[in-house]
Amino acid sequence: MKIINLDHNSSRPLLPEVKAAMVTAIERDYHNPASQHQEGERAAAALEDARESVARLLNCANPKEIVFTSGGTESVNHAVKGAALANAEKGKHIVISNIEHNAVIRSARRLQSMGFKVTSVPVDAQGRVDPQAVAKAVTGETVLVSIMHSNNETGTIQPIEEIARLTREKKIVLHTDAVDSVGVVPMDVQALGVDLLSFAANSFHGPAGVGGLYIRRGTRVFPLLEGGVQEHNKRAGSENLIGIIGAGAAARETLAHLPQWSHHTLALKRRLLDRLPAAVDEVIVNTHPEHSLPNLVSLSLRYIEGESVMLMLDDEGFAVSTRSACATGSLRASHVLTAIGLDHADAQGTLVISFGKDNTEEDVDRFLEALRRTVATLRNMSPLYRKATNGSA
Amino acid sequence: MYSKTVMEHFRNPRNVGVIEDADGVGEVGNPLCGDMMTIYLRIADERIADIKFQTFGCGSAIAVSSMLTEMAKGKPLAEAKRITNRDVAAALEGLPKNKLHCSNLGADALQLAIQNYEDRRDGRVRPAAVPAEKHAHEHGDKCYCPYCDVETKKGATSCDACHADLLEAH
C-alpha cells in the first residue's frame, strides 16, 4: 500500500537533486575541509558553496553568518545556551514563550540551574505571543529573548519583526527557532531583524542530521562544542560534508520553488478546512486563521485519543502526527495545546497534518474519508463520547 | 513499538460496547495521560455471562481492554477477581514500559465492576470511587522515567539518570 505522507513537518523527503548532489559528493571522496592541502581545499570549496546556497535561502548579509550543525536541536541549544553564557556578565535573565519546543524549554531549564532567571511569556488563545508581553517581561538584566518563528503543533507564526524592534532597541540578543518555518515560508533574516535563527535541513528536503544556526555578525555566542576552529571557530568538529552538500542542494531547490510549493499546499490546507465539517463534527481547529504555516493544520478531535487515531489512519495508508501525551511519551498533555486553552482531554485528540509539495487534492479527499471512518470507530468505543451524547451513542 | 498481539487487538477489538442495565459497571481513568475505561458486566450464576468495554485512550489502552474482556468472559467471579493488570500485559506479549504506567488499567476496571455487582447484590452503598485516581505504581508495578526510560524510585520527583523533572509525570 502506498502511504500518503501528511507529516511533512516531521521530515521532508530528499529531492532527487539532493540525492544526486550527495551521491556525487560521496563519489568525489572529499577530504577534510580543515586540511590545508589541495584535497582539503577542494572539500572546503564544496563546503563554502553549500554555505552560500543556505545563506541565500535565508537572505543572510554574509555566508559566514551560517554555522552548520547536526540539526535543529543542536542549533537551538547552541543559540540559547551560547548566547546566554556569552552575555552573562551583562545579566542573567532570559525570556522565552510558553509554547517553545522542548529544545528551548530544556535549554532554558539548564540555564536556570546555572543561576539564570527565565520568564516564560504566555500566548493568546490563538497561540500568538503579544510583543507587548515580551516588552513587559524584559528587564535590565535580560540578555536573550528566544521566541519561535512558527509552532510545530499549531503552525501559528509569531510576530518576530515586532519583537526584534524591541530587542534591537534594548540591545538584547534575539533568537528564533525557525525549524518548522524554513522551507515552508520565505525567510529573510535581515527583514526579520533577528540575531540568531535555528533551522534544520530536513525541513527543506535536505538530509536529517544537518542543520544550521544563523549568527548575525557581531552577536556574542559561545560555541556549544569546543575543539578545533571549524565553522569560523563557532562549532568545533569536522563538518558532515556530504550532508551539508545535500543541504546546499536542498536550499537551492527550495529557494527556486518555494512560492509555488506554498501556493500549492495552501490550496490543500484550505480544501481540508473547508471540507472538514462535513466529515467530522466536534472538532477544534487549532491553526491560526491568518498567521499560520501555509501547509499545516492542527485539529483536536474531541472524545478520542490521538495515538489511536494516528495508528488507525496509518492502517488506512496515511502518515500523520499526533500530539497526544501517550504518543509523545511525555505522559501529559502538550504544553502548547494547554497554553492555547485546550483542556487535557481535548488536547489528547490532536492531530497535526502537514502537506508537502507532492500531495494532491485527491489525497485530501481520501484522507477526510479515512478520518471520518476512524473517528466514528473510536467514538463508538469512547466512554467520553457516550457521556457527551447522554448515552445515545 | 507494539507487539503483534497488541496491534491485532487494537485493530479488531473484542467486546466493544455497552450493556444496558448491566449488573456491574467499573470505571477507571488516569488523569495524567487521559486514558479512561468503562467495563460493563452481565452476571449469571456468579459467572461473567457477558462483558463489554468502552475506552478512551491510546493503542495499548484499547488492546488492554479488548484482551481483558476476552480473559474474563465466561469466568466465575472468584476466578475473574484474580486477573491482574500484569496478566493482561503478559497475554498481550508485553507493553512498552511507559504504557504499563498509564494504559494498563483494564483489570482495575474489571475489579471495580465486580465490586459494583457485589455491592448491588448485597445492598451495600459505597462512597464515590477513589480508585479512579489511582496510579499504576500503587499496584506494585515499577516506575520508569518517561524521558530516558530508566527505572525510577516510586514517587521520585526527578530522574536519577537524566535529572528530568518528574513532578508532573507522577
Tens digits of residue pLDDT in A179-197: 999 999 999 999 999 999 9
- Alpha-carbon distance of A215 to A195, in angstroms, equals 6
Amino acid at A190: Q
A265 contacts A359 by C-beta, under 8 angstroms = yes
Co-location of A111 and A237 in the same domain: yes
What's CA A300's distance to the chain center, in Å? Answer: 20
- Alpha-carbon distance of A30 to B53, in angstroms, equals 61
Any CB–CB contact under 8 A between B59 and chain A? yes
Q: Domain for residue A5, yes or no? A: no
- Alpha-carbon distance of A57 to A41, in angstroms, equals 24
Tell me how far apart the terminal alpha carbons of chain B are, to the nearest angstrom: 23
In CATH, what number is assigned to the domain containing residue A227? 3.40.640.10
Any CB–CB contact under 8 A between B144 and chain A? no
Co-location of A140 and A105 in the same domain: yes
Mean pLDDT of B36-47: 96
* CATH fit for domain B4-139, picks 3.30.465.10, 3.40.50.300, 3.20.20.140, 3.90.1010.10: 3.90.1010.10
Number of domains forming the structure of chain A: 2
pLDDT of residue B155: 66
Nearest-CB residue to A380 (from B16, B27, B146): B16
B126-165 pLDDT, tens per residue? 776 554 444 444 444 566 665 556 667 766 666 666 666 6
Interchain CB distance below 8 Å, A383 and B34: no
pLDDT of residue B145: 62
- The DSSP element (H or E) to which A209 belongs, if any, is none
Amino acid at B86: R
Q: Alpha helix locations (H) across chain A?
A: 16-27, 38-57, 72-86, 102-112, 131-137, 160-170, 189-192, 230-233, 241-279, 306-315, 325-328, 335-339, 344-348, 361-380, 383-388
Nearest-CB residue to A326 (from B16, B33, B37): B33
pLDDT of residue B154: 65
A153 contacts A284 by C-beta, under 8 angstroms = no
Residue A391 in this model has a pLDDT that exceeds 90 = no
Chain B residue with minimum CA distance to A343 = B34
B42-90 pLDDT, tens per residue? 999 999 999 999 999 989 999 999 999 999 999 999 999 999 999 999 9
- The DSSP element (H or E) to which A140 belongs, if any, is none
Measured between CA atoms, how close is B4 to chain A, in angstroms? 13
Any CB–CB contact under 8 A between A315 and chain B? yes
CA separation (Å) from A82 to A79, A108, A110, A118?
5, 11, 12, 15
The ipTM, to two decimals, is 0.85
A105-116 pLDDT, tens per residue? 999 999 999 999
Q: Domain for residue A3, yes or no? A: no
Last-in-domain residue among A226, A254, A282:
A254
A270-314 pLDDT, tens per residue? 999 999 999 999 999 999 999 999 999 999 999 999 999 999 999
- Alpha-carbon distance of A175 to A167, in angstroms, equals 10
- Alpha-carbon distance of A185 to A157, in angstroms, equals 10
Active-site residue, B148 included: no
Measured between CA atoms, how close is B117 to chain A, in angstroms? 19
Chain B residue with minimum CA distance to A303 = B56
Amino acid at A7: D
Residue A151 in this model has a pLDDT that exceeds 60 = yes
Mean pLDDT of A343-368: 95
pLDDT of residue B126: 79
User: Strand pairing of A173-177 and A196-200?
Assistant: parallel
Measured between CA atoms, how close is A329 to chain B, in angstroms? 6
Chain B residue with minimum CA distance to A313 = B11
Co-location of A177 and A54 in the same domain: yes
A3 vs B146, more confident? A3
Co-location of A249 and A283 in the same domain: no
pLDDT of residue B134: 43
- Alpha-carbon distance of B146 to B134, in angstroms, equals 18
pLDDT exceeding 90 applies to what percent of chain A?
90
Q: How confident is the model at residue A174 (pLDDT cuts 50, 70, 90)?
A: very high
Determine the residue among A102, A107, A331, A377 to mutate to test chain B binding: the one whose Cβ has the most chain B Cβ atoms within 10 Å.
Answer: A331
Co-location of A135 and A228 in the same domain: yes
Any CB–CB contact under 8 A between A348 and chain B? yes
Query: Among A49-53, A342-346, B107-111, whose mean pLDDT is lowest?
Result: A342-346
What mean pLDDT, rounded, does chain A reach? Answer: 95
Residue A216 in this model has a pLDDT that exceeds 60 = yes
Determine the residue among B33, B101, B112, B148 to mutate to test chain A binding: the one whose Cβ has the most chain A Cβ atoms within 10 Å.
Answer: B33
Q: Is B57 exposed, middle or buried (0-12, 13-18, 19+ CB in 10 A)?
A: buried
Co-location of A245 and A320 in the same domain: no
In CATH, what number is assigned to the domain containing residue A315? 3.90.1150.10
Residue A241 in this model has a pLDDT that exceeds 60 = yes
Q: Which of A326, A368, A384, A388 is catalytic?
A: A326
Q: How confident is the model at residue A374 (pLDDT cuts 50, 70, 90)?
A: very high
Mean pLDDT of B26-39: 80
| Dihedral-angle region of residue A225 (phi above 0 means left; psi in -120 to 50 means alpha; beta otherwise) | beta
Grid coordinates representing A391 are 448515552
Residues 95-124, chain A, touching B (beta carbon < 8 A) = 109
Interchain CB distance below 8 Å, A329 and B98: yes
pLDDT of residue A343: 87
pLDDT of residue B101: 64
DSSP state of A63: G
Three-class secondary structure assignment of chain B: CCCHHHHHHHHCCCCECCCCCCCEEEEEECCCCCCEEEEEEEEECCEEEEEEEEEECCHHHHHHHHHHHHHHCCCEHHHHCCCCHHHHHHHCCCCCHHHHHHCCCHHHHHHHHHHHHHHHHHCCCCCCCCHHHCCHHHHCCCEECCCCCCEECCCCCECCCCCCECCCCC
Active-site residue, A326 included: yes
Any CB–CB contact under 8 A between A334 and chain B? no
Q: Which domain holds residue A175?
A: 16-254
A209 vs B144, more confident? A209
